[in-house]
Each structure stands twice: as C-alpha cells, then as structure tokens.
Chain A
Amino acid sequence: MLRFLQWFCPPALVEGIEGDLLEAFEHDLKEVGEKQARQRFTWRVLRFFRIEIILRNRFSVQFINTIMWRNYFKVATRNMAKRKLYSFINAIGLSIGIAFCVLIYLYVEDEKSFDQFHHNKDQIYRLNESSYSVWAAQRGEDPMHKSAYLPLPLGTAMKDEIPEIKYLTRFNDGVTAIFRYEDKVFTERITFVESDFFKMFSFPILAGSADQLFKDKHEIVLTPEIATKYFGKDDPMGKIITLDLQGEKQFTVTGLIEAPPSNSSLSFKILVSTENQFSYERNREQWGNFSYPTFIQLHQNANLTDLKQKADKLIEQKMGDRLERWRKDGNIPEGYPVFELTYTNLADIHLDTEVSWEKVSDPKYSWILGGIALLIILIASINYISLALTTSASRKIEVGIRKVVGAQKKQLVSQFGMESMVLAFVSLLIGLSLTFLFLPAFNEFTGKGIVMGDTNLIRLIGVAFTTAMVVGLIAGSYPALFLSGFLPAAVLKGGFTSKLSAGFTKPLVVFQFFLSASMIICSVIMNRQMEFVATKDLGFDHEQVLVIPTQTGWNEEADKVVEQFRNKLNTETSVVHVAGTSSSFNQGWSRYGYKIKEENKSAYVYRVDPAYAGLLNLEFIDGRNFDESIASDSTGIIINEALARDMDWKNPLDEYLNWREDSVGLGSRVIGVVKDYHFLSLERDIEPMFLSMDKKNTGYLTTMLVKLSPGEISDKLERVKKAWTELYPDKPFDYTFMDQDVANQYQTYKRWMKITSLSTSFAIFIACLGLFGLAGINAINRTKEIGIRKVMGAELSNIFVMLNKQYIWLAIIAFALAAPVSWYVMDKWLGSFKYAIPMSWELFAVSMLTGLVLALLTVSYHAIKAALINPAETLKYE
C-alpha cells in the first residue's frame, strides 16, 4: 500500500504523509484490532489518491512557468515590434518558405492521388507490350521498348480464353471527329471504349445503366459539359446526333457520365464504342497492328501470375509463327524477346515513365519542387539566424540581468526558442494565406487542377504547422544557445556591448549567397536556352502560317479540299500560299523503316504538294521542287541532306531510294535535295527525311497550310474563315498558328523554366532582404568608427568601399562555389537538347555580375546612409 502511495505522491510529501499514516495505524491497532486497522489504513491511503496530492509539485512548476512564459511572450512581441524591419524580413522569408512547402505538399499529394478513386483499382491492370527496338539498340539505349498499344485480336482472345479476366476494354483516345446536332457543328475529341469500361472504372454514371451501355454499336455517352453544349437544358437522353467518323453516322445518346477528375489518367469527354473505330473490322484479325491500349480487370481472387502464364501460352499459340518471322526480319538477337506482355496496375500508370501515356509524370519533378522549397526555407532560416545573432548585442544586457536575477540557461534557451516560435507562427498565418493566393498560379505553372477541399485543408494546415515548428526549432536553436551563453559579469561590465563578434554569420551568408548564386546561374542558362530555342533559325519559315485540318479523315477527299480551298483563296490578296501536307509541325509524324543492303535504316516521311516547299521557304541545294505537270514526280521524292549523308550519296540526283523494299523496281527517284531544317523539335537531331507526292503510299493531305501576307492577322484570319464557311458550311473551322505549334514543343521546358525563375526570384528576394538587414546592423555597429574616420578626413567613397568590401568578398567566394555546382546541373539539363547553347564563361560572368549588382544595391543603401551621417551626431555623446 505504501508503495502505491510512493508511486503517485510527489517525493517531497511522501515522508510526512507516510509517517502520519503509520502513526494512525499504530493508534488504530491498539483501539480496534489489526484487521480493522489494516482496512482503515488502506482506506486512508486510497483517500490520498486525489488531484491536489498527485499534481501538487507538477502543478506548482507549471504555475511558475506560465508566468514566465507569459513574460517571454511579452518580451518576444515587444522585441518584434521594436525591430519592425527585421521582424518583417524574417516573417516574409519564412512565410514564403512555408507557402512553398505547402504548395509542394499539395503537388506531391495530387501526384499520389492519381487514379486512387476507382473501387476496383487493385484488380485493374493496363496491358503493355515490351518489344525489341532496333533503333534504340543502334543508338545504344535499352533496346526493350515499352508501349501500351496492343493488337486488337489479342485482347479478344485473352478475354475468351483466360478465366482470370473478368472484364476487358480497349481505350483509344485522341481521335477528333465532327459532332453535329441540328445547327451546332464542332470538332470534338472522341474516346473509344467497350461496354466493360463502365463496369470496371468508377466514373459515376449520371444517366443510363452501366450494365446496358454499348450493347449497340450506335450508342454514345457524353459528359454533362458536352451535353449542355449541344442540348442546352434539354434532356440529352435519347437524342440523335451525327458524328463524322470516316463518314457520317448517327448515334443515340444513351448515357451521361461524370467527367473524369483532374487526377485521372484516363480522360474523355465523349465515349463511343470501339467498334466504330476506323478499320475495326479489318483489325480484328490483324495480329501485327499494335494500336489498341487494353485494360483488364481480374476476378476478386484471381492471381496475376497464373494469368501471366496463361497469357504467355496464348501469345505463343496465336502469334508464335509471326514472332519467329519478326525475329528473322528484324535481326533481333537471341536472348531478347521479340514481344512480351507486361502489366501495370491502374494506380501505377501515372508515375510509370517507361510507357508513354497521357499526363504521365516523372517523379523527379516532385523532387525538384521539393528541393526548391527546401532551398527557400533554408535561405529564410539563415536570415533568421544571422539577423538574430547580429542583433544579439542589444539583447546582451537583458540576458545578463535575467541571469543575475536567477534565470537558468535552460530558461533562457526556452525564452529565445519561444521567440522564434512566435515568429514562426506569425509566418505560418501569412504563409497559409499566401498559399491560397499562389494556388491558381501554381496550378497553371504545373498544369494541375488542385482544388482546396476540406479534407486536404486540415492536412495542409498540419503540414504548414509542422514546417513552422521545424523551422522555428532549427532556426531558433543556434541563436538561443548563443544568446543564453553570455557570461553575465562580462556582459554587464559594459564596454564591449556595442559590437558583436558572431563570426558564424559569415559562413551562413556565404552559404546563402551560394544558394542564390546557383539559382541565378541556372535560371540565366535556362532562359538563354529557351531564347535560343525560340529564335533559332529552324531552316523554314513558320511566321504567319495558319494550320487548318481538312476535316475529311484519311481519304482522297482531303486532297480535294486543299485544291478547292486553294482555288477559292486564289483571288484573296492577303493569302500568299496554300499548301497541303500529311502532318504539320508538332502534330505528329510518320517514319518508315526499311532495309537497304541488309542494313536497317529509317526516314521520316511527309506527304506534301508542290506548294509546300515554297510556303515554308525551303532552300534547295540541288535539284528542283515537285511539278504537278510532270507525271513521274508522283513517285519522286525530295530528300534532306541528312538522308543523303545517311545513304552516303555523292550525287543524290542520280539515286533511287528503295524505301518500300520493292523487289522489282528501283524505288523512288530523288528529284531534289533541301537544306536540313528542323522538322522535329530541337531536342532531336535532324534525321533523314523525305517529302513525297505519292498518295497511295504516303497518305493524304489531311492538313492545310495557309500563308498570310505580312502584317495584322485578325481580319485576314476572318476572311479565310469566311471562305471556309462558304465552301464547307457543315464543317467546323479549326486552326492553329504554326509558330505557336512549334513553340509548344517546348512547353514543359518553359513551364519548368518559369517555375525555377519564379522560385529563384523569391529566393533572391529573401536573401537580399536578409543581406539588407545584416548590412543595416553592420552599419549601425560601426557608426562611431565611421564618425571618427570622417573626422580624420575619410572621403564618402572610402567609407562606402570599406562597408561594402566584405560583402563583395563573400559574394565572390559564394560564386566560386556555385559555379561548378550549377555547371554540373545545367550540363545535365542541356543534355536533353540536341541543339543547345554552349555553356560559356560569359554566361557565368553575366550571372555573377547580376548577383553582385543585386548584392551591392542591397547593401549600398545602408552604406551610403551611414557614410552620410554627420560625425558630430554620432560622436557627441562620447
């Protein structure tokens, strides 16, 4: 029983209480006998188990501390109010840091949340094919190339013969078609899926029944956005619309489906059955046509390994002969599979960078963003530390007095720790509001659609809170230890209080400069490269060119549209050229592989018409352009220099390119050679390419290029549009500008450049604020020195130089450290471009100069101010 007492009772009280208990027990022993005495004893002990006893000591300690905490809080707020500028610098830096952290947290969360909302996500897999790529092997890369596109009959066979598969659907996206309802005609993006789609994925069906959808080929399912666009407020169900998918067909709306959220890897607006896809009937037996992304859902208890075995057996059985033939034709070495089926779980699609898919994202971006946030937080923390250390002179007396009065080191540490906490929490509030402010811009930069919801709001505050805590602790700990370490006698004796000797601030400033300098160098180089990309002469003229799809599909009709439109615009003075091509820049390409003298070669192919070369202003270095009146030109080709080099031709005009591996003829006659131009983005080399007029083998003119005369575009565009609507009232007029198409190739780079530039400017801003504060304190610390120097005859410029010299040195050291680091990082980045700017010393010089000027501007304010003070003012009290 006494042990129980000792357990809960504060040690100071135990002895007195025990004594009283035992005395009472002895007394009872005489009066009422042992049994009762023991009972009473136990009862009394239990009665001591009460709040007043248990918490007595703890409570009193807390009691004293709350008084002190209140005082700390008061001193902290007073200090902040007294030094408004420094508090402002610290708070701004920290709040921007916190805001960045929160935004990056949101980004990472969003990345992780991709496709998590499907109930069956654990059972759903995307099938991928992994096949040996001769091109990749030639370039020395990993030869196994992965893609999500599979032959149509493979999926059908798998569903029929493998019992583990519960559902299966193809998912073909990216086809556009003309959608017509009464007088409303627009081009829309169509997605082809099969009936199982609605049972597998958890996109809510708003009207219609998931089990019944796509029983019929001519059904169409819309998202509410599309339904409103065409039918307004009318009920869309049962409406009949016309879609032009290789010829007009009528479809009945049988369902409404909610639009996929921004964190879905599958996106769609209009769903149509796969059976309506171009050449579906023919592809049903085509085991060699890889163009159908396929998703499967397993039965609840089915095993993926069993499925894999069965699928591999099935492939061997159905495609075995074919695979052997491919191995022979493609010279695929033994040991590599020709074709292999792999599986990606639905939830992993988003971060699987090996297989290209819409919205797929590299996890490295999360790391880059996280790194940036960390840098900003670091710079802001350094501001806090160095400012706290530098202003510590004025706190020395406070610390001395506190110590003399009896404060212990621990208490002082907690006092200064508390001060940084107060600051951290003020920043937390500002930071959170900044987050809300930045979010729309951040979404735009990163191409995300993050919405602030209730659930992530709580977690987000948690993240901000944690960041504030960690930063407050880390940034606060060093100044707290430093300040609390003063010896009261030394401090209170006076004499050394006006100047401080916190030598540790210098390395901190160098480190801060180093971070900012690296970021400056990186953004300068990135900006230069993007400028280079935007202004580089691509070898063709892409200004004032409209790119218009002929809206006919892949057929003879397309060529006619180009011809008709050319005739229509013939009299139009604002139109210089009209040309047709199979695909315009950044709108896709086709590439043919062929074997010449047992060697695998390949070339990009563009179907064009004679106006093409003139419109783009391509430069002929040999031969001539196509001529409609020469019949043999229809099989002739115009090649680029790269192709001539690839084939090792001395006189290309005498040569034939047998790209169709024709065993009878010689192939296509070369009639002209154009100077190399960048038909692909600058990330790529200029590879072999040829232009052809061969309809049958290189396709139709599905895209029309319209070159406008120089000057204001809008009314010319209006006239072209008018001509189009007169000719084709039932086809939408869609267009892009070629220069924008070309620029869009670098969108991701631009986006990341913007993010880095933005965060660099924030980082520099925070660092400059810190520097500004430091310089100010330094100038104040040296006011008397400056006064004396001036009295002794120092010039304003001498003092200016004296005050700024040390910062310039710090900046130079920081740059010396930053240059190699940023060189390494940027070398990697530029490596992704085949055409990149050289990293010259001048780039580094420019960055360094920018940094120095910024630093100098920041510190000069105080230097000039200090140098201008009348020495009589500063010295009169001596």
Chain B
Amino acid sequence: MSKEYLGEFEELVLTMVGILGEEAYGNAIVQEIKDRLGREANLSAVHVTLYRLEDKGHVKSRMGGASNTRGGRRKRIFTITNAGVAMLKVMKEARADLWKLVPQLKVVSV
C-alpha cells in the first residue's frame, strides 16, 4: 500500500471529480455532494481540498472557457489523474479487504 493516504473528505471530493469528468469545478462539486449525499459542503473547504489533491498529484487543473454567467469568470476545471484513479482504487480495495474480515453479522430487525 502506498504511503499516501486520503482523508474521508479528500476521497469524497476526488470521487466527485471522477464522476463529473469534464464538468468538475468548485461549485459543481458542492452541488453534486448535496444532490447525491444530501450533505452540505462548504465551497472554500472544497477548493482547499482540490488544491491539496493537486499538490499530491491526484488531480490536475486548467482554466475552462468563459461564459456569461459567473460574472464572466472562467471555471477552474479539475480532472482526475491516473495517480488519482489508482489511489481511489487502492483505497476501495483496501476497504473491501478489510470488510471481508469483519464477521458477517446479520442485521436483525426487532
């Protein structure tokens, strides 16, 4: 297993970047998290996390095209890198391996 480690929120944001593909930017990710998980994420937290992921090499960013919405500002589009995909895979598998080791208790409803 690699020494790198992703925090829960980092993993979530990275996954969202993977899901959104070409449309992954700060606001879209906040919206996506809200829509899919019903969880309120703060915009600045998402931005900081994205930059951190970029430092670690899991995502890369570029400036998208301008549009009339957003006050004419361009979007910073994030895309997942191979390293990022590999990281997600490693984390998922590691969790799955661990899950297998948990005694499979039935969820008993009373």
A interface residue numbers (CB < 8 A to B): 13, 15-24, 26-27, 44, 47-48, 50, 52-53, 56, 60
Contact = CB atoms under 8 A, between A and B. Distances in A.
B73 A15 contact: yes
A56 B51 CA distance: 9
A44 B76 CA distance: 18
Query: Of residues A13, A23, A27, which shows the largest number of chain B Cβ atoms within 10 Å of its Cβ?
Result: A23
B42 interface: yes
A56 B61 CA distance: 15
Contacts of A26: 69-70
B18 interface: no
B94 interface: no
Interface string B61-77: 10100000111011110
Contacts of B42: 44, 47
Query: Of residues B42, B73, B74, which shows the largest number of chain A Cβ atoms within 10 Å of its Cβ?
Result: B73
Given A21-B43, A47-B43, A47-B44, 20 more contacts: A13-B47, A15-B73, A15-B74, A16-B25, A16-B26, A17-B47, A18-B71, A20-B27, A23-B27, A23-B70, A24-B30, A24-B43, A26-B70, A27-B27, A44-B42, A47-B45, A52-B48, A52-B51, A53-B47, A53-B51
Nearest to A49: B44
Contact of A20 (B26, B51, B61): B26
A28 to B, nearest CB: 11
B52 interface: yes
Contact of A19 (B45, B51, B52, B75): B75
A20 B43 contact: yes
A47 B70 CA distance: 19
B25 to A, nearest CB: 7
B14 to A, nearest CB: 17
Given A26-B69, A44-B44, A47-B43, A16 B30 contact: no
Interface in B51-103: 51-52, 55, 61, 63, 69-71, 73-76
A24 B41 CA distance: 13
A743 B59 CA distance: 87
A52 B53 CA distance: 12
Given A20-B25, A20-B27, A15 B47 contact: no
Nearest to A40: B43
A53 B26 contact: no
- 4 closest A-B pairs by CB: A16-B76, A19-B73, A20-B26, A47-B44
Given A17-B47, A23-B27, A52 B70 contact: no
A16 B69 contact: no
A18 B66 CA distance: 13
Nearest to A9: B47
Contacts of A24: 27, 30, 43
Majority secondary structure of chain B interface residues (helix, strand, loop or mixed): helix
A62 to B, nearest CB: 13
Given A16-B25, A23-B27, A24-B30, A50 B73 contact: no
Given A15-B63, A15-B76, A50 B48 contact: yes
B42 to A, nearest CB: 6
A53 B51 CA distance: 9
Query: Of residues B27, B30, B61, which shows the largest number of chain A Cβ atoms within 10 Å of its Cβ?
Result: B27
Nearest to B29: A20
Nearest to B77: A16
A13 B26 CA distance: 12
A23 B51 CA distance: 20
B43 A16 contact: no
A19 B43 contact: no
B73 A18 contact: yes
Given A16-B26, A47-B43, A47-B44, A22 B73 contact: yes
Contacts of B51: 13, 52-53, 56
Contacts of A21: 43
21 contacts: A15-B76, A16-B63, A16-B73, A16-B74, A18-B70, A19-B75, A20-B25, A20-B26, A20-B27, A20-B70, A22-B69, A23-B27, A24-B27, A24-B30, A26-B69, A26-B70, A44-B43, A47-B42, A48-B44, A52-B48, A53-B51
B48 A17 contact: no
Contacts of B25: 16, 19-20
Nearest to B47: A17
Query: Of residues A19, A22, A27, A60, which shows the largest number of chain B Cβ atoms within 10 Å of its Cβ?
Result: A19
Given A19-B75, A20-B26, A50 B69 contact: no
Contact of A52 (B26, B52, B76): B52
Contacts of B48: 50, 52-53
Contacts of A17: 26, 47, 76
Nearest to A47: B44
A15 B73 CA distance: 6
Nearest to A22: B71
Contacts of B27: 19-20, 23-24, 27
Interface in B5-51: 25-27, 30, 42-45, 47-48, 51
Contacts of B76: 13, 15-17, 19
A17 B46 CA distance: 11
Nearest to A24: B27
A50 B44 contact: yes
Nearest to A52: B48
A50 B51 CA distance: 13
Contacts of A23: 27, 69-70
